Structure 1
């Protein structure tokens, strides 16, 4: 049971890690899949190339990240034909990601027919959302017919980071109230109460919530109607605008927070505004989740921006001192997994490196072990 291969097939990349227990034997990322400029022609080619390169003798299982599990999948599952078909049925809810996830599963099932395949769903961690958190206030019959509800994403990351926060604080996981902030090119917030997701910022899709690299986050739906009626944009054009040409990119022309910070430091007004919009949205979610949880034990930043952008962490939590939330400047500018709040602060503010692949490997191993 020690050797586990994890495949994380994104829309244009494939990350892989080969574990022996908790140790990483091999890892890498195949990028620009299906794009011009020398990348693999498609995900099938990319995955076959990975399998050909690796020594897979004694492999116990393959764990696959699957973005959308809908309402059916509340935990990781062994993949059989019925599970594969169910994931296919969910493609309309995640058209950019589930097809790539399915390709990874299909190729490995064919290449390694005797090796168990396990699907680990991004949405599964959020199955504990109360109905009041998951329900949108739209016509019930329409919502039921078309699967309109909050599903949430980045669940594997929020699960790993909230557990790691408990370890860092030497506190029981089941007693901790934590706000986790996964801030990468995609970004989401999650309120975790005793190991259960009770609120999260992404909704039916990863578009809702925080300002992201290229996604708008929260938006008045009337903007969509206005663009359709007044600008004559098609539904697909509006989809592209909000998912791929908004967020930091739409406000500044770049989607990398590092460059936004550099421009802001140099006096660029657009970058300064983008930074303020980004951090104001974060502050609002932290305050809202503090209220929903009835108090907070920890706020944890993770992913690329969350782990490396000290000015974002400081600005996002500025003014929350009356809630017991504060950042120590010296600790904030350090590196590694750490607590960055002052000594004796009521709320611990942490920075933790996320490790979705490790969490997928652990969950995969548990699923296979449970089968006996």
Structure 2
């Protein structure tokens, strides 16, 4: 069974065609820096690798580019869209309506659209992916897998806000959590790895997903018990263009004293803040490069980014009552040795001792980057949200 997974992020598209249930990847690739003149495009099969740098203005153009290569006479892997039985879509916010994987209907799309106010950088892009896929793969079943599902196990003491009760019971305002497919995938890999090393002891781990969007999850014995993102994917860590945690009184000050409209504040915190607001760059590769050249704003932003991660490691270690491992994953977490070094420096109280040489190694496999004497494992685990989504889509189709 051929399943295509489309993961439309806020500034990227990752995709894979997977033969299920063998989990065999037929082709894969991604587009990043969407909206910039220097978008990167890749398309990889067992025999072909295509890489281009070109302007890709939006997700629709990107998805059309992907579909053209899938059916290309020379490098394509299918001759007809009828070969595709299902398309699995990552959808960021499922609200209180979706706690499981679902077949996409008009009603499901309407709800995803309604929830766009809570995930304005993601749900619209997710919905665009669905709409384009429905046109291209018209005979395939379209399936949605929600980022929020993995975090349904967060207990009420952690998911409830200290606001009047009716806002939870009637309006469903609570911590939902995001990047669930990634946190679920890498945590399961980590638990298997730890069990092999530690004879099946219980696991207390912190997964650190660092990309354009960033989040951390406290996971005890395989279950999410706390998470940095909340009602919408905006708070917590410093992100590419999102501020992360701010004092909410700043919002009222900007509106009441500085003359900002609520829409302007929302746009500023969602699209003009984070690393972009601090440095003028949203891509960490640009920020690290400029920091190396002496840009003090870029260096400070990197320090602030790591400092925020450290704070959550401390609080989540308290919640877990101990720590067996931290896991770095996603684009920045897997590839930025510098961020990992900043996070793990002066963390010996938590049993974290980084091996500098191991930290510089790049690999697609699970790897330890801690010293042999480190009491806490420091793992880099490449995420594969597409495989996780494919497994969930396949399970749904079997029902």
Flag whether TM exceeds 0.5 (same fold). yes
- Do residues 236 (structure 1) and 263 (structure 2) align? yes
Q: Could you say if the C-alpha distance between residues 49 and 275 of structure 1 is closer, same or farther in structure 2, counting changes exceeding 3 Å?
A: closer
Question: 1: CA distance between counterparts of 2:392 and 2:367?
Answer: 25
Q: Could you say if the C-alpha distance between residues 278 and 364 of structure 1 is closer, same or farther in structure 2, counting changes exceeding 3 Å?
A: same
Give me the CA root mean square deviation: 2.7
Normalised TM-score (structure 2): 0.83
Alignment equivalent of 1:361, drawn from 382, 386, 390: 390
Q: Deviations over 1:257-276 (max 9, x none)?
A: 23333333343332232222
- Does the 8 Å contact 1:331/1:341 carry over to 2? yes
Normalised TM-score (structure 1): 0.89
Q: Deviations over 1:160-209 (max 9, x none)?
A: 11122234445488932210101111111111112111111011111100
Instruction: Write the mapping of 1:301-312 to structure 2, written as runs, cut at 5 A.
Output: 301-312=328-339
Question: 2: CA distance between counterparts of 1:281 and 1:40?
Answer: 32
- Does the 8 Å contact 2:86/2:140 carry over to 1? yes
**Which residue of 2 is the match for residue 293 of structure 1?**
320
- Do residues 140 (structure 1) and 165 (structure 2) align? yes
- Does the 8 Å contact 2:100/2:145 carry over to 1? yes
Moved more, 255-264 or 58-67: 255-264
Moved more, 174-183 or 61-70: 174-183
Deviation, 1:128, is 0.9
Instruction: Write the mapping of 1:1-372 to structure 2, written as runs, cut at 5 A.
Output: 1=1, 3-11=2-10, 13-20=12-19, 21-29=22-30, 47=63, 50-51=66-67, 53-54=70-71, 55=78, 56-109=81-134, 112=137, 114-171=139-196, 175-336=202-363, 337-369=366-398, 371=399
Q: Could you say if the C-alpha distance between residues 173 and 301 of structure 1 is closer, same or farther in structure 2, counting changes exceeding 3 Å?
A: farther
Question: 2: CA distance between counterparts of 1:74 and 1:143?
Answer: 16
Question: 1: CA distance between counterparts of 2:301 and 2:282?
Answer: 10
- Structure 2 SS opposite 1:60: strand
**Which residue of 1 is the match for residue 50 of structure 2?**
none
**Which residue of 1 is the match for residue 44 of structure 2?**
none
Deviation, 1:242, is 1.2
Question: 1: CA distance between counterparts of 2:359 and 2:35?
Answer: 39
Question: 2: CA distance between counterparts of 1:46 and 1:258?
Answer: 22
Question: 1: CA distance between counterparts of 2:6 and 2:290?
Answer: 36
Q: Deviations over 1:309-356 (max 9, x none)?
A: 222212212222122222111211222231011114221100111111
- Structure 2 SS opposite 1:322: helix
Q: Could you say if the C-alpha distance between residues 258 and 58 of structure 1 is closer, same or farther in structure 2, counting changes exceeding 3 Å?
A: closer
Deviation, 1:23, is 2.5
Deviation, 1:226, is 1.0
Q: How many aligned positions are there? A: 369
- Structure 2 SS opposite 1:175: coil
- Does the 8 Å contact 1:303/1:353 carry over to 2? yes
Q: Could you say if the C-alpha distance between residues 313 and 368 of structure 1 is closer, same or farther in structure 2, counting changes exceeding 3 Å?
A: same
- Structure 1 SS opposite 2:84: coil
Question: 1: CA distance between counterparts of 2:354 and 2:37?
Answer: 44
Deviation, 1:77, is 1.8
Deviant stretches of 4+, over 6 Å: 31-42
Unaligned runs of 5+ residues in structure 2 are 39-53, 72-77
Q: Deviations over 1:50-71 (max 9, x none)?
A: 4464424443321111111112
Unaligned runs of 5+ residues in structure 1 are none
